[in-house]
């Protein structure tokens, strides 16, 4: 009996040490990061809330870095898919070529690709704009990509369909768990010859490119029908949906704005001002954007200020978040992010600045950049992480845009996404049988794609099905066809 008691006490001691060790590790790492911040003269602080650290301890994973690697589970699109995607946008929107064709336009994700559209930027004069939408909590699962996608969906729905200032009052709450139920099987996608897209119920590791298409193909249900909170303490990657999800009403978007990575935008002919205005136009006129980045280890410990990496930073994985606004340097001392949960919250910076200069140690030769514009972003790690759940980073500078010199941690290095909502009533009378063979199928889609750029009157009559009709055939018409096909 005594031996059993000793064993039990030993197990209890080891368990207590392991859980306490997370807090110990966090404190040690924060001290190291804050020392680097001070020596580099940066304007942010590493200081996780005790309640957030306590949540990390419930993961029962002894290494805090492993926990953050689990949280940061965004998976990038393969380079060849991204290149093909950008080429499609160039031909369908920039050049609107007659005899349009793309090498390899026969794979299983062609319908998916065609639902993404480019946004015409307008000149945005506002120096700052932010909508502080509700912060969600992905807990310990790697479902950031679904949270970023759903956050953008909720915001876009509020702005476009109801004329609201985004989802700031939490009017809409949709199910991230439903989003993860339609993740893809990455092994099949990565290793099949035609990048075959197969659904897989998985809470871990996804990408907004596929999740955004699923908003069109399947639609989105409200949180009450498939609550994410039910999987908080379940470590399984695949968790069945609750019975309430199977008859839940679904709301679909119609297409998706895709803002290209900055290097691709430059290649497509957009100026630096065009690129920033494209992002700002999307934010102010259509809703918040799903964005992603590779995460420096120091980011995980962010508390407040203007984040940029410190010496020794390395990537702890990919992460998807929701871009909710921008601010000029002179406004950072006026914007309070944590006011919803902290009545004593203070602005992003204590004093006004004209610009911000920082060194990026993650790049060769540690270049120095200066910017006057900053992105305001909401995370999905609850309100007790960061500045009330939000963080602030420098926007890409003109020098970086022209040179393509970006750090792995900058959101401009990847695509940005935003759902667009159309009304089926706008398409009454539109015929999806564009090839007039008496059958509506993917052959009609292929026929329409082949007609992009055509100026023949008969082709335009058959294929100009976007709203509003513009007398030409481009990617908007391909996106409209897929939307209508999914709503038959």
383: domain CATH number is: 3.90.70.10
39 in any annotated domain: yes
28 alpha carbon, distance to own chain's centre = 31
- pTM (2 d.p.): 0.91
89 in any annotated domain: no
Q: What pLDDT is stored for residue 87 in this prediction?
A: 87
37 in any annotated domain: yes
Same domain, 203 and 330: yes
Same domain, 275 and 415: yes
The radius of gyration of the chain from alpha carbons, rounded to an integer in Å, stands at: 24
110 in any annotated domain: no
Beta bridge partners of 394: 374
Same domain, 291 and 209: yes
107 in any annotated domain: no
Same domain, 249 and 304: yes
Q: What is the distance between the alpha carbons of residues 49 and 302, in angstroms, rounded to a whole number?
A: 10
Same domain, 303 and 448: no
Boundary residue ending a domain (37, 54, 71): 71
Q: What is the distance between the alpha carbons of residues 56 and 50, in angstroms, rounded to a whole number?
A: 10
Boundary residue ending a domain (51, 71, 91): 71
- Kindly report the number of other CB atoms within 10 A of residue 1's CB atom: 5
Which backbone phi and psi does 6 adopt, to 5 degrees?
-60, -45
Residue 376 zone, left/alpha/beta (φ > 0; ψ -120 to 50; rest): beta
Q: What is the distance between the alpha carbons of residues 444 and 435, in angstroms, rounded to a whole number?
A: 6
Which single residue is written with the structure tokens 């008691």? 5
Q: Using N-to-C axis directions, what is the helix angle for 272-286 and 144-162, rounded to 10°?
A: 70
Q: What pLDDT is stored for residue 2 in this prediction?
A: 36
Q: What is the distance between the alpha carbons of residues 401 and 121, in angstroms, rounded to a whole number?
A: 17
What burial class does residue 292 get, using C-beta atoms within 10 Å of its C-beta: 0-12 exposed, 13-18 middle, 19+ buried? buried
63 in any annotated domain: yes
211 in any annotated domain: yes
Which backbone phi and psi does 318 adopt, to 5 degrees?
-95, 150
Same domain, 430 and 374: no
Which tokens belong to 217?
Answer: 């193909």
Same domain, 365 and 465: no
**pLDDT tens for the 488 residues of the chain, in order:** 333 333 332 333 334 334 448 999 999 999 999 999 999 999 999 999 999 999 999 888 889 999 999 999 999 998 888 888 898 888 888 876 655 555 444 445 677 888 999 999 999 999 999 999 999 999 989 999 999 999 999 999 999 999 999 999 999 999 999 999 999 999 888 887 667 788 999 999 999 999 999 999 999 999 999 999 999 878 788 999 999 999 999 999 999 999 999 999 999 999 999 999 999 999 999 999 999 999 999 999 999 999 999 999 999 999 999 999 999 999 999 999 999 999 999 999 999 999 999 999 999 999 999 999 999 999 999 999 999 999 999 999 999 999 999 999 999 999 999 999 998 888 988 999 999 999 998 889 889 888 888 899 999 999 999 998 999 998 899 899 988 988 88
Helix (H, G, I), strand (E, B) or coil at 130: strand
For residue 369, CA distances in Å to 243, 398, 401, 456 come to 53, 10, 11, 50
**DSSP state string for 239-277:** -PPPGGGTT---B---EEEEEPPHHHHHHTT--HHHHHH
Q: How many domains does the chain have?
A: 3
Give the domain extent around 33: 2-71
Boundary residue ending a domain (420, 444, 461): 420
Which tokens belong to 400?
Answer: 């970086």
CB 354 within 8 A of CB 329: yes
Same domain, 268 and 146: yes
Same domain, 234 and 251: yes
94 in any annotated domain: no
Q: What is the distance between the alpha carbons of residues 178 and 355, in angstroms, rounded to a whole number?
A: 42
Q: What pLDDT is stored for residue 16 in this prediction?
A: 39
Same domain, 318 and 224: yes
Q: What angle do CA 228, 230, 235 make, to 5 degrees?
A: 95
CB 487 within 8 A of CB 424: yes
Long-range interactions of 60-69: CB distance < 8 A, separation 24+: 60/18, 60/19, 62/18, 62/21, 62/22, 63/25, 64/22, 64/25, 64/26, 64/29, 65/297, 65/316, 67/22, 67/140, 68/295, 68/297, 68/300, 68/316, 68/317, 69/316, 69/317
Same domain, 401 and 444: no
Cβ contacts of 24 within 8 Å, gap of 6 or more: none
Same domain, 436 and 416: no
């Amino acid at each position: 009996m005594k031996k059993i008691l000793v064993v039990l006490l030993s197990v209890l001691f080891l368990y207590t040490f392991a859980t306490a060790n997370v807090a110990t590790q966090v404190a040690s790492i924060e001290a190291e990061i804050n020392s680097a911040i001070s020596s580099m003269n940066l304007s942010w602080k590493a200081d996780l809330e005790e309640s957030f650290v306590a949540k990390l301890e419930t993961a029962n994973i002894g290494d805090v870095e492993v926990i953050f690697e689990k949280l940061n589970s965004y998976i990038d699109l393969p380079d060849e898919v991204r290149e093909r995607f950008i080429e499609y946008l160039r031909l369908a929107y920039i050049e609107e070529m007659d005899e349009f064709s793309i090498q390899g336009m026969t794979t299983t994700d062609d319908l998916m690709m065609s639902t993404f559209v480019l946004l015409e930027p307008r000149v945005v004069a506002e120096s700052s704009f932010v909508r502080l939408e509700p912060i969600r909590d992905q807990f310990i699962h790697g479902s950031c990509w679904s949270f970023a996608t759903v956050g953008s969906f909720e915001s876009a729905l509020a702005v476009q369909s109801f004329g609201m200032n985004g989802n700031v009052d939490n009017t809409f709450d949709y199910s991230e768990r439903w989003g993860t139920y339609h993740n893809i099987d990455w092994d099949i996608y990565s290793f099949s010859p035609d990048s075959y897209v197969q659904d897989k119920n998985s809470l871990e590791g996804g990408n907004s490119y596929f999740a955004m298409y699923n908003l069109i193909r399947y639609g989105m249900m409200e949180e009450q029908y498939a609550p994410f909170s039910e999987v908080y303490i379940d470590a399984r990657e695949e968790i069945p949906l609750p019975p309430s999800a199977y008859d839940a009403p679904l709301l679909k978007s119609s297409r998706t704005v895709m803002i290209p990575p900055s290097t691709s935008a430059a290649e497509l002919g957009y100026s630096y001002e065009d690129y920033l205005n494209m992002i700002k136009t999307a934010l102010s006129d259509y809703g918040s954007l799903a964005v992603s980045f590779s995460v420096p280890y120091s980011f995980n410990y962010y508390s407040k200020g203007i984040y940029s990496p410190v010496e020794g930073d390395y990537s702890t994985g990919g992460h998807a978040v929701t871009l909710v606004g921008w601010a000029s340097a002179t406004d950072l001392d006026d914007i309070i992010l944590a006011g919803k949960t902290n009545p004593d919250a203070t602005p992003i910076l204590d004093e006004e600045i004209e610009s911000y200069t920082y060194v990026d140690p993650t790049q060769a030769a540690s270049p120095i950049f200066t910017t006057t514009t900053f992105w305001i972003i909401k995370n999905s790690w609850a309100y007790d992480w960061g500045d009330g759940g939000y963080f602030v980073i420098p926007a890409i500078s003109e020098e970086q845009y022209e040179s393509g010199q970006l750090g792995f941690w900058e959101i401009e290095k990847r695509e940005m996404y935003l759902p667009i909502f159309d009304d089926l009533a706008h398409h009454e009378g539109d015929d999806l049988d564009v090839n007039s063979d008496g059958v509506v199928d993917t052959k009609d889609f292929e026929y329409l794609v082949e007609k992009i750029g055509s100026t023949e009157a008969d082709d335009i009559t058959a294929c100009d099905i976007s709203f509003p009709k513009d007398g030409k055939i481009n990617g908007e018409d391909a996106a409209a066809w897929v939307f209508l096909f999914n709503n038959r």
